[in-house]
Amino acid sequence: MKVLSIAFNTFRENLRDKLLYNLLIFALLMIGSSLILMRLTLGEFHRLILDIGLGSINFFGVLIAIFIGIGLVSKEIEKKTIYTIVSKPVARFQFLLGKYLGLSLTLFINTTIMTAGLLAVLYFQDVPVHGVLFKALGMIMLEFMVITAVALLFSTFSSATLSAIFTLAIYVIGHLTPDLKAFGQKMEGLGRTTLEGMYYVLPNLERFNLKGHVTHQLDVPTSDLLMIASYGMAYTIFLLMLASIIFQRRDFR
């Protein structure tokens, strides 16, 4: 109940954030722009629309997750609104969880709107829609949830600007972890241990990327989806627990 109240309040807060609308409009414009770009290419129209569409949903969703996510907690501390929450019978982890679920709800609704935009473009261009598209969208949403948890974790102990930089870095590295492993295998000793360690500790965000499957109309077996989903959930829960531990020890000055 308390967690849900905080979640809905966060959702309401997000809805009044201009950044959200700016990013959403840009995302819809990007999805729509595939119609223009299509005229510049020869063949492969369908692939282009799907590629740009899914890419836009992913990119702008990540931007929302990062730039609203970093403010979730740090803004409450900066604006001192947290004083009135923590002094109520609300455990600190309930506050964190509420903030997290609030932004997740915002992201879910955003993704739904962007998906509607993409489906409209696909419909008007007579592009057939396969089930794998929705599987890919589900995985994109899962990636948002991991990124939001990363942003939330950083925002429990550092400023908004630093959190943004850290989270962006994790996002970029997260998509390159297979390269980290490959690099590591070419090295010896400490370098190898470090890179392999990073490979296992950092989120492997490339796992959530099913765009290739969509454009090539390759289905993903349910067992694979379940594996990826469990990985995403476990990673998110781990990050939220870590954030709770740090947040629990903090003084609000």
Site string for another protein, 178-207 (x = CB under 8 A): ------------------------------
Q: Pick from 39, 42, 87, 128 the residue near another protein by CB under 8 A.
A: 87
Q: Pick from 91, 172, 227, 245 the residue near another protein by CB under 8 A.
A: 91
Nearest to 50 by CA among 205, 219, 217, 208: 217
Q: Residue written as tokens 């935009």?
A: 117
Q: Are 136 and 57 in contact (CB under 8 A)?
A: no
Check binding of 89 to another protein (CB under 8 A).
Answer: yes
Check binding of 21 to another protein (CB under 8 A).
Answer: no
Please name the amino acid found at residue 3. Answer: V
Nearest to 104 by CA among 69, 139, 56: 69
Under rule CB under 8 A, how many of the chain's residues touch another protein? 25
Q: Pick from 2, 130, 175, 192 the residue near another protein by CB under 8 A.
A: 2
The DSSP secondary-structure symbol of 157 reads T
Nearest to 149 by CA among 203, 210, 196: 203
Considering the complex, what minimum distance in angstroms separates the CB of residue 96 from another protein?
A: 14
Check binding of 71 to another protein (CB under 8 A).
Answer: no
Spatial distance between the Cα atoms of 52 and 184, rounded to a whole number of angstroms: 33
Stretch that binds another protein, among 2-10, 111-119, 215-223, 228-236 (CB under 8 A): 2-10
